[in-house]
Structures are given as structure tokens and as C-alpha cells.
Amino acid sequence: MKMLFTAVLFGTVAAALTLGFARASSATPTLLASRVVVPRVVGMRLDRATRTLHSRGLRVNEECSGLLGCIVKSRWWVCTQSPRAGKRVQRYSVIVIYAERRGEC
């Protein structure tokens, strides 16, 4: 009985290790597929820029020059962004966009 338990335990551990290595080797294509190109949002209204970045699977950090921040996002315009447009980043990366009132950029 003890030998049977040892054989089953050894088989289970071997199977788990084999599956773990198989998953690790297949993780590389998944990582490459989860990269996205940062779109250019400079010159866009803040609400549209945020929506565009979210639709690409990116997170957004909005920075505004207003005392209370950007309360009504449709009244703010994106002046700069980081990282730059065209750069490949991991999905769910944070993109920082800096906004000003129209004409202040």
C-alpha cells in the first residue's frame, strides 16, 4: 500500500512538472501578443483620448493644470503624452497624458 501511494504521488508530481514546463514554454507567444502600440492622442480632447487609450487595453493617468484637476474632461485638450506614440508597450500599461485648457498648450 505504501509503495502504491509513493508511485501515485511520484506520478502526480511528474505530471504537474510536465504541465508547468509546457505552460512556461507557451507563455512567450502570449507575452508577445499582449503588446500594443501606443496611439497618438496629443491634440485630442481629454475624454476622447482616454476612451481611445482604454479601447487599446491601456490604463490612463490624467494630469491637468487646473486647481481642481480635470473635472469636465471635454473641456481639456491633451498637450503631451508619455510614452510617445508608436511605442510598443505591454497591455494594461499606464499612459500619462498631460492636458491644458484649449489654446494653452
Quick one: pLDDT at residue 68?
Answer: 86
**Each residue of 46-81: pLDDT tens digit?**
999 999 999 999 999 999 988 888 889 999 999 999
CATH number of 36-101: 3.30.10.20
Least confident of 31-40, 45-54, 94-103: 31-40
Q: Where are the domains of the chain?
A: 1-33, 36-101
Q: Of 24, 30, 49, 27, nearest to 38 (Cα)?
A: 49
Residue 26: pLDDT band with limits 50, 70, 90: low
Q: Of 44, 60, 55, nearest to 93 (Cα)?
A: 60
Residue 14: pLDDT band with limits 50, 70, 90: low
Beta-sheet pairing, 59-64 with 94-101: parallel
